[in-house]
A and B are shown apart, each in its own frame.
Chain A
Amino acid sequence: MKERQLRYRSCLIKSCSAVCACELYGFACLQFYVYMLTFLYSRGCGGAVGWSAVLLSPVGLGFESRLGCLATDWRPVLGPTKVPPDLVDKLERLALLDFRNQDGVDCLEKAIRFADQLHVVNTNGVEPMDSVLEDRALFLREDHVEEGDCAEALLRLSKNTLEGYFVAPPGNIPLPEREDRAALLKHSEF
């Protein structure tokens, strides 16, 4: 069970031209069910090519997600980042996220600007790394059954079950088109 303890971890990520250091937050509460680290390799965004890290901590699942803002006391080095509406739409679709309104998009831009600071770091001749733990040995487990047999406990977490199965909607529910989403979120508090 040791290996399944909650761990907060930083990971250092380097790509072709930039290193992104991203703090992964732990879970504030169980409702923060999924957190996602999304890397967008965005070309054609004003000619700028770069990796941008967007840290998101959606509340619950899917549509009710909310953009978690990052510390913004780093000074921008590459000038303001603008995310065109089409790209915002694509991101929302890929990550099943909803930036909701202009404030959300502003927040996304700030997050990208934050990560762009990494372009300043001179990484010439530095071997790229995925993780600060990459010089550690990867633990290998023996092939013995030690877990499972907890269907009841797991099924209790689901709103809808049937004869031992989780029940899901048929297929994926596509995200509504942009206009419909705007209407849907008219009374949003964000």
Chain B
Amino acid sequence: MAASSSGRLAGICSLKDKISLGYSNVFCGSFATSACHHAQPQIKRKASPQLVGVVGLEIHAQIYASTKLFSSSQVCFSSPPNSSVSFFDAALPGTLPVLNRRCVEAAVMTGLALGCTINKRSLFDRKHYFYADLPAGYQITQQRLPIAVGGRLSYSHLVGRKRNQVVDKNVRIKQIQLEQDSGKSLHDSYRSQTLIDLNRAGVGLMELVLEPDMSCGEEAAAAVRELQLILQALGTCQGNMSEGQLRVDANVSVHRPGEPLGVRTEVKNINSARFLARAIDYELQRQMAVVEGGGTVLNETRAFDFKSGQTVPMRDKEGLQDYRFMPEPNLPPLILYERETVPAHTDPRQVVLVDQLQEQLPELPRVTRDRLVTTYGILPEHSFTLVNEDGLVDYFVGVVQQTRAEPKKVIGWVLNDLLGLLKQQCLTVSQSPVSPNALAELLDLLEAGSISSPAAKLVLQELWKGSGKSAKHIVEEQGLGLMRDRSEIQQVCRRVIDSHPDEVSALRAGNKNVLNKLIGQVRKQTKGRADPQLVRAILEEELSRPPFHGETT
């Protein structure tokens, strides 16, 4: 069952990839299934069409600001417990909320970047529930009239066996609302008590509601990844999922296309993009199994347990929640302006100008990728890798501008060699011991034919050690320069032929593949400094001559 389900899920993803989606999620389901039947002929269903997954997301993004949404206490991820808590955050009587201008700007920028309509007038509401890490007994949020509505997140994901086909998708954004974060509870089951840290209480959040336009975990993960890049480009959220700066809840259901949507479950506790995909796919499979077994899916909240890879029902908070929403009486409506509409004699610090923020928007990841592909002629999938790694675009452009080597050659060095070394040692691009300058110099040597490609890799290793020596210096010091002297290479070739009689006789018997082994030996003895083309030519020439006397009989 599990195997067939996962096969089916993979099918759903791959076939939907072939169809441009997003403009109408009403139809995308039926497209998906009809195609699904073609793609998955091995799974035969007699009566009804196949079940498809429907996934919507609620994303909480912590706003990157110095202070909280309604109080001027500091936002800091790892400070001592309860050290950045103001009287308002602790809900002491008589305290009132004072809105942080930066949080408003961040929400407007995020809304603009996602093509939302910015509501020039938005309202705050109280949402009530009782929990120890919510001292006021309510959260201030924007239920009735949020700051931004109706946008679209365009994302792409890579499919195919080599993951080199780029498929573009869209997911509609219902709204973006400003709200307060809650405190943190640490559960001490041993002593049966809960420890409360209010440092996070009152931190500004943007809640982004994504419509159920996705159909599997991989799509959801790709959408979240793209959103993460956009937020980081805007600087409105740092987007670190493991630190809880970006938290995702998934609403998951299954249905047969053409039928009404199924009962959905909400999956919580997801703290990485990888787990998001796994949690959603597990939940889709589970629901498909329930529905196919004739059961009904319960409307419940489930938590993802990353150890077992399963979702488990969460202890419910006494049946259906009633949040008793009411208007927040302490905050008048939030009014946003454009340059044209600002009333006269208004303090500029008291207004947020939507058109001004629109003009200040930085380049978004999608545009960066397109620019890289068109300007430097690199492959689209390479542009994804560059953009996904913080600082790597600048590094790549830095190298390209300083070297004579083609961008298409530079990309290989940056993505395979440099990024490989960085990943191996868990370093970020900014921590790289090899500067763009140094790599550019190395690639120049390679381009000029002064060194071979294997020798260049050795030089890179040497540069990585951070001795401060330049590439040229290392080449000279270690004698890694390309062997230009034909007779010198010839000597090495002869030595290799002499020491490998078995291979030579195999070659003479007609096994041409053995030549590569001999070339490898020559490369090894010359530390890769000999030009492989030249080596091949010399070896072929040497071997076509009559055998040496030592070799006969």
**Which residues on A are within 8 Å of B, measured CB to CB?**
3-7, 9, 11, 13, 24, 27, 30, 32-34, 36-40, 93-96, 130-131, 133-151, 154-155, 157, 162-172, 174
The answer, yes or no, to whether B416 is at the interface (CB within 8 Å) is: no
A4-B88, A148-B83 known; 19 other A-B pairs, CB under 8 Å?
A4-B98, A9-B329, A27-B93, A33-B93, A34-B93, A40-B324, A134-B332, A137-B346, A138-B331, A140-B350, A142-B349, A143-B103, A149-B84, A162-B193, A166-B196, A171-B315, A172-B130, A172-B318, A174-B318
The contact of A165 among B88, B137, B196, B333, by CB within 8 Å, is B196
Question: B430: CB under 8 A from chain A?
Answer: no
| Residue contact B98 to A139, C-beta cutoff 8 Å | yes
User: Nearest residue in A to B132 (C-beta to C-beta)?
Assistant: A168
The residues of A that contact B86 with a CB separation of less than 8 Å are: 147-148, 150
Q: Do the beta carbons of B194 and A169 come within 8 Å of each other? A: yes
The answer for the CA separation of A4 and B332 in the assembled complex, in Å, is 15
Known A-B contacts A94-B324, A134-B332, A144-B72; A163 and B66 likewise in contact (beta carbons under 8 Å): no
- Chain A residue with Cβ nearest B79: A148
A-B residue pairs in contact (CB < 8 Å), sample of 18: A11-B327, A13-B326, A32-B93, A36-B137, A93-B318, A94-B322, A138-B333, A139-B98, A141-B67, A143-B66, A143-B103, A145-B73, A147-B73, A148-B86, A155-B82, A165-B186, A170-B194, A171-B315
Q: Chain A residue with minimal CB distance to B102?
A: A143
A137 near B332 (CB under 8 angstroms)?
Answer: yes
Give the CA-CA distance A164 to B74 in the complex, in Å: 17
B192/A170 in contact, CB under 8 A = yes
**How many B residues touch the partner, as a band?**
35 or more
Contacts of B128 in A (CB 8 A): 94
B119 within 8 A of partner (CB): no
B23 at the binding interface (Cβ < 8 Å): no
A151 contacts across to B, CB distance below 8 A? 80-83, 85
Nearest residue, chain A, Cβ from B195? A165
Chain B residue with the shortest CB-CB distance to A141: B98
- The answer for the CA separation of A162 and B404 in the assembled complex, in Å, is 63
Q: Is the CB of A147 within 8 A of B322?
A: no
Contact B197 A165 (CB under 8 A): yes
* Given A130-B123, A137-B350, A169-B194, A150 and B87 contact (CB-CB distance below 8 Å): yes
The verdict on A141 contacting B100 (CB below 8 Å), with A151-B80, A166-B196, A169-B194 known, is yes
Nearest CB of chain B from residue A14's CB, rounded to whole Å: 10
Interface residues of B (CB under 8 A from A): 65-67, 71-74, 80-88, 90-96, 98-104, 123, 128, 130-132, 137, 185-189, 192-198, 315, 317-318, 322, 324, 326-327, 329-335, 346, 349-352
- Chain A's nearest CB lies how many Å from the CB of B238? 15
- In Å, the complex CA distance between A151 and B96 comes to 19
User: Is the CB–CB distance between B85 and A37 below 8 Å?
Assistant: no
CA distance A31 to B458 in the complex (A): 74
State the main secondary structure of chain A at its contact with B: loop
Closest Cβ of chain B: how far from A111's Cβ, in Å?
Answer: 16
Contact present for B73 and A148 (CB under 8 Å): yes
A140–B350 Cα gap in the complex (Å)?
A: 6
| Nearest 9 A/B pairs, CB to CB | A148-B73, A168-B132, A147-B86, A165-B195, A143-B102, A130-B327, A140-B101, A166-B196, A146-B72
CA A141 to CA B103, docked complex, whole Å? 10
Query: Are the CB atoms of A168 and B196 closer together than 8 Å?
Result: yes
| A10 (CB) vs chain B CBs: closest residue | B329
- Which of A34, A95, A157, A171 has most B Cβ within 10 Å? A171
Check A162–B195 contact: CB distance below 8 A.
Answer: yes
* A170–B186 CA distance with the chains assembled, in angstroms: 9
Q: Are B196 and A148 in contact (CB under 8 A)?
A: no
Contacts of B71 in A (CB 8 A): 147
CA distance A13 to B95 in the complex (A): 22
Bound Cα distance A163, B65 (Å): 28
Instruction: Give B420 Cβ to nearest chain A Cβ, in Å.
Output: 40
> Do B80 and A164 touch across chains, with their CB atoms under 8 A apart?
yes
Query: B398 → chain A, closest Cβ, in Å?
Result: 32
Chain B residues whose CB sits within 8 angstroms of the CB of A143 once the complex forms: 65-67, 100-103
Nearest-CB distance from B149 to chain A (Å)? 19
Residues of the B chain whose Cβ atoms lie less than 8 Å from the Cβ of A27: 93-94
**For the complex, what is the distance from the CA of A146 to the CA of B100, rounded to whole Å?**
12
Residues of B with C-beta under 8 A to A138: 99, 331-335
A168→B193 contact, CB < 8 A: yes
Interchain CB contact under 8 A, A139 and B195: no
Min Cβ gap B98→A in Å is: 5
Best-buried of A9, A13, A150, A151 by chain B (most CB within 10 Å): A151
Q: Are the C-beta atoms of A144 and B66 separated by less than 8 Å?
A: yes
Smallest beta-carbon distance B272→chain A, Å? 26
Tell me if B81 and A34 are in contact (CB < 8 A): no
A163 with B81: CB separation less than 8 A = yes
Q: A148-B74, A165-B195, A166-B198 are in contact. Are A3 and B96 (CB under 8 A)?
A: yes
Q: A170–B83 Cα gap in the complex (Å)?
A: 23
Cβ B132 vs Cβ A3 within 8 A: no
Within 8 Å CB of B197, what residues of A? 164-165
